[in-house]
Structure 1
Amino acid sequence: MSPRTNRQRRPVVLLRPVPGTSVIHDMWAGTKLLVVAGVGVLLTFYPGWIPIGLVALLVLGTAWLAHIPRGALPSIPTFLWFLIVLGGVTATFAGGSPEVTVGSVTVGLGGLLNFLRLTVLSIVLLGLGALVSWTTNVAEIAPAVAKLGRPLKALRVPIDDWAVAIALALRAFPMLIDEFRVLFAARKLRPREQIEGGRAHRWGAEVVDLLAAAITVALRRADEMGDAITARGGTGQISALPAGPKLRDTVAMAVVLVLCLLSVYVEVLTPLATSKT
């Protein structure tokens, strides 16, 4: 036997808070949603290296305050590293400044730097969203959405119904993932049926069977969830949890506001001052 042991991959765990308590866990869910929205808008208009770096520091500092263990991070599959390397090599052919000369060959690194910037930007945004998932109970999302969208009620926007729909989707997503994993595992244990035709025909028949079973499981879970919601007083109770911002939320919003203003200053005012000189 080979002494090498296969390491078990850590799956992606989202929409389930990490056990424990911290100042980040105790924050209002609406504050976290506002922070994610604000940072998303910032990086949409100013996706430079300095704003990305500041947001990355914010993500790392928040993870440290929330006591997120390293085991919460999912394992990165090998094919994803291959795709990243392939994308970097392909982006290098785009050229652009700065340029590096090796002997008689000049290589432009502009495309590669843009690819790396977009890759880091995606990782930072994914980390920010994962932090919200790891530190927020799903039951707190709907009341926060309902409270943040309360001014829209003057425009006859059904914000309570939207909040309930979001809450039900967030609750059902992890549950359906577990059901589908059990379904796929059971499918692998079944003996393969002898179906006439080529490999494509057999593959299509298996996909149809899996889709039919998945729809059946989803309908059964939806029926059970509907009965549970009716027994607990209806959908109005989902968005009726009393919660609101506190002092820690004010401090967090102030920190994010300072980060956004600093990023805008660096991205806008500093290039203008340099061009004038």
Structure 2
Amino acid sequence: MTAQRRPVVLLRPVPGTSVIHRLWAGTKLIVVFVVSLLLSFYPGWIAIGLMALLVIVALRLAHISRGVVPSLPRWLWILLLFGALTAAMGGGDPVLQLWSQEIAVGGLLKFLRFTALSIVLLVLGAMVSWTTNVADVAPAITTLGRPLKWLRIPVDDWAVALALALRAFPMLLDEFRLLYAARRLRPRPLAPDGTARRRRLADLVDMLAAGVTVALRRADEMGDAITARGGTGQISAAPSRPRRLDWIALGIVGTLCVIAIVMEVKGFSGR
């Protein structure tokens, strides 16, 4: 019996409470932005290692179990192996001396560094979605973007649009999964190859039409619910501001970023 695959669960907070759960949503957004900016300008091993350590500690503090992590498909491992092999063939410094052979591993190291950087950013974003209530995102964005209102930028409208998109994404994903499961339960009629190919194309069009219909129906229901609760202004009007715990978290992240930048500038990154 094969083990059951764990699906991707995003934009739904993990039940429970922890230090990470109690952080302000704006703090988590700032951390994601700062870490992404740091790794974009200083993608060295030291910076990646420090940010990976930060993510691991945050996962432990948030009590994220292994069951939350989705199962990786086999084709992804094959794709990573193929990428590593092709990158290794590119050569480049440094060169390892293995007995009488010289092996250039520069390309492989660059691929591994890029893969590690991508994993850190993906896990960081996933952790934010696992520990943040979607309803807290819009007020946090409104608070963070308050200085932009002086430039007559519609921050509140942007926050409402983002909040509605985040709320609708898991709902629509479940609807599409239900449609796909219902489509697979339908019997497949026997037909010649050409007819079967045209039938598959017609089924794809039917699935897209059904998906659009479901999305419009859900949008209408969500619009009625928002109107009954006082309009879209209530989504971003909730009080939202950082607390003492958030300043401590931002100070820790800022300190790690400064350490990473200093070590990268001084040349201790090992690149």
**Could you tell me how far 1:195 is from its partner in structure 2?**
6.5
| 1:225 aligns to 2:222 (yes or no) | yes
Structure with larger RCO (C-alpha < 8 A, sep 6+): 2
* 2:178 is aligned with 1:163: no
The corresponding residue for 1:41 is 37
Q: CA deviation at 1:97?
A: 1.2
Q: How far is 1:199 from its partner?
A: 4.2
Partner of 1:190: 186
Cα drift, residue 189 of structure 1: 1.0
Instruction: Give the match for residue 70 of structure 2.
Output: 74
Q: Which residue of 2 aligns with 1:90?
A: 86
Q: TM-score, normalised by structure 2?
A: 0.95
Task: Give the distance between the partners of 1:161 and 1:90, measured in 2 at CA.
Answer: 46
Match of 2:252 in 1: 255
Matches of 1:168 and 1:81 in 2, distance apart? 34
- Amino acid across the alignment from 2:139: P
1:236 aligned partner, one-letter code: G
* Per-residue deviation, residues 175-211 of structure 1 (Å, max 9, x unmatched): 0010011000000111235667344322211111110
Q: CA deviation at 1:270?
A: 4.0
Report if aligned partners of 1:93, 1:111 keep a CA contact under 8 Å in 2. Answer: yes
Question: Gaps spanning 5+ residues in structure 1: where?
Answer: 272-277
Letter in 1 for 2:137: I
Amino acid at match of 2:154: P
Q: How many residues align?
A: 267
Identical-pair percentage: 63
d(CA) in 2 for partners of 1:107, 1:206: 51
Counterpart residue identity of residue 46, structure 1: Y
The one-letter amino acid of 1:50's match is: I
Say if 1:195 and 1:202, in contact at 8 Å, map to a contact too: no
Residues 1:199 and 1:90: Cα distance change in structure 2 (over 3 Å): farther
CA contact (8 A) 1:29 1:141 kept: yes
Structure 2: gaps spanning 5 or more residues? none
Residues 52 and 124 of structure 1 are in contact (CA less than 8 Å); yes or no, is this contact kept in structure 2? yes
> TM-score scaled to structure 1, two decimals?
0.93
Structure-1 residue corresponding to 2:25 = 29
In angstroms, what is the RMSD of aligned CA positions?
1.3
Could you tell me which amino acid in structure 1 is paired with residue 41 of structure 2?
F
1:63 alignment counterpart? 59
Q: How much has 1:259 moved relative to structure 2?
A: 0.6
